[in-house]
Amino acid sequence: MTTHLLWLRNDLRINDNSALAAACHDKKADVMALFIATPKQWRQHSMSAKQATFIHQNLCELQQALAERGIPLHFHQCDDFAASVNYLSDFCKTHRVDALFYNYQYEINERERDAAVEKQLDEQGITCQGFDDSLLLPPGSVQTGNNTTFKVFTPFSKAFVKRLQQGMPECHSAPAARGDAPLNSLKKIPAFDYPTEKPDEKLFPAGEQAALKRLRAFARQPVLDYPLERDTPASDGTSQLSAYLSTGVLSPRQCLHRIVKEHADALKGGKAFTWISELIWREFYRHLIVAYPALCKHQPFIDWTHHVSWQKDSAHFDAWKAGKTGYPIVDAGMRQMNSIGWMHNRLRMITASFLVKDLLIDWRQGERYFMEQLIDGDFAANNGGWQWAASTGTDPVPYFRIFNPTTQGERFDKQGAFIRQWLPELKDVPDSDIHQPHVWAKKNNKKLDYPLPIVEHKAARKKTLDAFERARGAA
């Protein structure tokens, strides 16, 4: 009998899983699955404890779902990608695997690992089939008229939508059951050799069904309210699907099809398109790391920004991490992330801008810290967002455009509802003064258990502009 092996990575689902569907296409083949945990590699990639725990939770759910379809899920843990290549080769020999099926990952270390696997298995006479599964359209398939990669989002998005209007990528059904389900022989997946931090199960319930339920609920009405609600962190106006997309519990195709099913005008400029645009941003950054592998090595996209003289101020960095900068909207955002492993997207922009443009601290320090905290950590999106905020990346905010953290708070959390949720020490400050609480405290002879601003924004802004202008002049 032919034996097919599904190699699982960030694709922890049975619905719309390209590699799984292909592995199960031959109804006579014996199909098994394998997940290899690589804790040492995860540490090098700054994976958060919450994300690692969430992966484990979803892996356990997936094991059950696969078993119900007669597909056993094997598990192994080793240090890093190099060790995983050798283990996979030995596993295929032991189990007499004829063909390997997997979904591509696009970061440079992952691509090198996959190339090493294909080389070894090819020498063993084993067929390897890879699939562009975590994207709506494959990298390199949407290009400029000169057949180059888009470096600016808006024309990329227009070309991308045009392709989708010509025909959307199909979703694969979950495979049918293959003989008796080996439920009694399930070997419990052991805990990873990695820090454990259990996510809030109300915010991030594990499992494919929980993800699909959330997607269906969002696609009905909230997606239409998203254009108005998405920038207000106090309101529940975002989809909060990012944790499921980053771990592959949900696919972008499932998201697109569900939105279009509910709102037929979504790709024609309807209200629902605003959220679809966020999916396209996700695609944009993934396409870029394939076209420009240096991005995976933490290199800035704009060469002259190599010359920026970053400040090495550990006290300022620690204050930023702890949410104790003295700027309420910045601190509330950081405390939200530190607590639940997720941060509202508007606040990701505000907090990133503050670190780079007010504290003049290297964006790579912030990029790494976000990955260490986020349950939805995704290298391409995180790197793209940080380089955008730092004015070092493709299609960046111009370096001379610097967010004022006080006015950002006034604009997006006017009454301070979100700030009070995460900064209880400011609960007695009136709405009109919540964004500059020390001015109110001094005026009213009050004492606040809240730090004074660690920098003065106007002076910090000038310092940053000078640093960027010197760097540009040195190039």
* Active-site residue identified among 7, 320, 363, 440: 363
The predicted model scores a pTM of 0.97
Is 345 known to be catalytic? yes
Q: Which residues contact 106 (CB under 8 A, 6 or more apart)?
A: 134, 139, 286, 289, 290, 380
Angle at 130 between CA 128 and CA 132, to 5 degrees: 175
Sheet holding 30-37, edge to edge: 73-77, 30-37, 3-8, 99-103, 127-131
Is 310 known to be catalytic? yes
**Tokens, residue 265:** 């005008």
Question: Taking a C-beta distance cutoff of 8 angstroms, is the pair 387, 348 a contact?
Answer: no
* Active-site residue identified among 320, 386, 422, 440: 386
Is 278 known to be catalytic? yes
Residues 30, 179: Cα–Cα separation, whole Å? 10
* Active-site residue identified among 112, 310, 338, 410: 310
pLDDT of residue 181: 55
Residues 436, 448: Cα–Cα separation, whole Å? 12
DSSP 279-317: HHHHHHHHHHHHH-GGGGGT--SSGGGGG------HHHH
For 143, phi then psi, to 5°, come to -130, 170
| Cα 474 to the center of its chain, rounded Å | 34
* Active-site residue identified among 197, 278, 304, 410: 278
Alpha-carbon radius of gyration of the chain = 24
Burial track 349-364 (b if 16+ CB lie within 10 A, e otherwise): bbbbbbbbbbbbbbbb
* Active-site residue identified among 7, 42, 275, 281: 281
Other CB atoms within 10 Å distance of the CB of residue 209: 13
pLDDT of residue 182: 57
Is 363 known to be catalytic? yes
Residues 144, 67: Cα–Cα separation, whole Å? 45
Residues 378, 382: Cα–Cα separation, whole Å? 6
Question: Taking a C-beta distance cutoff of 8 angstroms, is the pair 309, 467 a contact?
Answer: yes
pLDDT in tens, the chain (475 residues): 899 999 999 999 999 999 999 999 999 999 999 999 999 999 999 999 999 999 999 999 999 999 999 999 999 999 999 999 999 999 999 999 999 999 999 999 999 999 999 999 999 999 999 999 999 999 999 999 999 999 999 999 999 999 999 999 999 999 999 876 555 567 899 999 999 999 999 999 999 999 999 999 999 999 999 999 999 999 999 999 999 999 999 999 999 999 999 999 999 999 999 999 999 999 999 999 999 999 999 999 999 999 999 999 999 999 999 999 999 999 999 999 999 999 999 999 999 999 999 999 999 999 999 999 999 999 999 999 999 999 999 988 899 999 999 999 999 999 999 999 999 999 999 999 999 999 999 999 999 999 999 999 999 999 999 999 999 998 7
Question: Taking a C-beta distance cutoff of 8 angstroms, is the pair 363, 386 a contact?
Answer: yes
DSSP 387-427: HHHHT-SSSPPPTT----HHHHHHHHSTT-HHHHHH-GGGT
pLDDT of residue 178: 87
